[in-house]
Amino acid sequence: MLRTILSSLILLVVCFQIPLYASDWQVGVARIDITPAKKIWLAGYASRKKPAEDTTHPLWAKAIVFKDKEGNQAAIVTTDLIGLTRELSDAVGARVARETGISREQILLNSSHTHCSPVVRGCAPLAYDFTPDQQQDVDDYAKTLEEKLVKVIVSASKSLQPALLSYGEDRATFAINRRGRINPDGPVDHTVPVLKISDPAGKLRAILFGYACHNTTLAFFEFCGDYAGFAQIDLEKQYPGVTALFLLGCGGDANPDPRGTRELAEQHGRSLASAVTRAIDKPLKPLHGPLSVKFQRTDLPFVKPPSREELQAQQGQGDIYSQRLTNHLLKQLDQQGTIPASYPFSVQVIEFGDDLTLIGLGGETVIDYAIRLHEELAGRQIWVAGYCNEVFAYVPSERVLKEGGYEGGGAMKYFGIHGPFQPGVEDRIIQLVHSLLKP
């Protein structure tokens, strides 16, 4: 008799829990193919001497729109792209705001940073020297990309349905610190965060997952999402009808290991997909509202820029990219009268009640940021993503800045920025993150 009563009570609890959780959220999901119609130039490796020749699989932009029971909204957009620019992200946000009421500040756009994706206009512009026809192809793609990003967010916002959200984690181990080419003793984060979106009956609808590793297994001449693309494909085959979305973490100083072939990219993709599967097969933490989104920028100062006389003396010196930077800075002086002294770095915080805080950092952020934030926010469940909203340069921690090298400032020439940053860059970013969090 007691067992029967207990069983009935448990059944009642379960029955009442499902509509209770569902009432917290409405979620819309959409996707759009962003593979270029033309075989235009591929991004990421300055050494490439020809455009794309084929397509391994389509490149996608995918969007999830969240709405809590109080009407607060947020959109997360993932893209199989090298990166976005501030100008493009802000233009997309402004248009979406007019069409949906979702403000620019409520939209997080992330790039998987696959180096087998098309050049995005303005992203690392000095890495390339295009003919007029090649530049026109890049310009045309930028217009098409903006249209499609707006369309996918609007589509997601129009497909809201009651949903359950839950969160879990697992691990994948193919990332390795790349400072000094391969640095097995360097810091790395193998965590695979997973956000599960289900309908009120528990049927899986979408999976948002992440990893902190450069998406650079491949360097061939085909459009391809690299390991992140293969992981999404694997999950969508495993769960028919489900949309899988990849959110790149603070992988600025990590590479896949080993790397160099399509087979290895597929292997890493399967490894990552398996971690996601293990996570969603475990008991997950339900997420409740309210939803809170904050977005703010802070200026990150550069070291003192060179004078016109110093730049003129440098003309024709160094490698071709250093020469392009010199000419670019002289052009800035001619047109604007000054060289920018800082960059407006963006931080975005999406809080799912007290259950999960997603922190989106701009640029190619190194892993030290995720490690420090996890230490300082140990009482919260957090997810730290890099490559959010724009890829304007590498963002070194204080340690990496002092060490120098590629991520410490050497790569800034490809982005048309004189550098490196001034000391204190890490504290400025961390302090802004803390200021945006609810107490």
- What token pair was written down for 77? 């957009």
pLDDT in tens, 279-334: 999 999 999 999 999 999 999 999 999 999 999 999 999 999 999 999 999 999 99
Asked if 202 and 191 touch (Cβ cutoff 8 Å), the reply is no
For residue 439, the model assigns a pLDDT of 86
- What token pair was written down for 387? 């490559």
**5 pLDDT exceeds 50?**
no
Task: State residue 145 phi and psi, 5-degree precision.
Answer: -60, -45
- How many alpha carbons lie under 13 Å from residue 26 in its C-beta half-sphere? 13
Query: Cα–Cα distances in Å, from 374 out to 191, 283, 358, 359, 436?
Result: 12, 22, 12, 11, 16
- C-alpha to C-alpha distance for 289 and 293, rounded to whole angstroms: 12
**1 pLDDT exceeds 50?**
no
Q: Indicate the pLDDT class of residue 47, thresholds 50, 70 and 90.
A: confident
Asked if 432 and 298 touch (Cβ cutoff 8 Å), the reply is yes
**100 pLDDT exceeds 70?**
yes
- C-alpha to C-alpha distance for 149 and 62, rounded to whole angstroms: 9
Per the listing, tokens 């060179």 go with 306
Give me the mean pLDDT over the 382-392 stretch: 98
Query: Order of strands across the sheet with 382-385?
Result: 291-301, 342-352, 356-361, 382-385
Q: Give the helix ranges, DSSP H, for 240-391.
A: 262-281, 308-314, 320-336, 368-376
For residue 181, the model assigns a pLDDT of 80
Q: Indicate the pLDDT class of residue 23, thresholds 50, 70 and 90.
A: low
At 122, the amino acid letter reads G
Closest CA to 390 of 58, 82, 27, 35: 82
Least confident of 47-51, 74-78, 310-314: 47-51
**416 pLDDT exceeds 50?**
yes
DSSP class of 410? G
Task: State residue 103 phi and psi, 5-degree precision.
Answer: -75, 165
pLDDT in tens, 170-218: 999 999 999 988 888 899 999 999 999 999 999 999 999 999 999 999 9
**356 pLDDT exceeds 60?**
yes
pLDDT > 70 in the chain, percent = 95
For residue 76, the model assigns a pLDDT of 98
pLDDT > 90 in the chain, percent = 92
- C-alpha to C-alpha distance for 80 and 152, rounded to whole angstroms: 14
For residue 180, the model assigns a pLDDT of 84
**275 pLDDT exceeds 60?**
yes
Give me the mean pLDDT over the 413-439 stretch: 97
- Helix or strand or coil: residue 248? strand
**15 pLDDT exceeds 60?**
no
Q: Indicate the pLDDT class of residue 255, thresholds 50, 70 and 90.
A: very high
For residue 8, the model assigns a pLDDT of 46
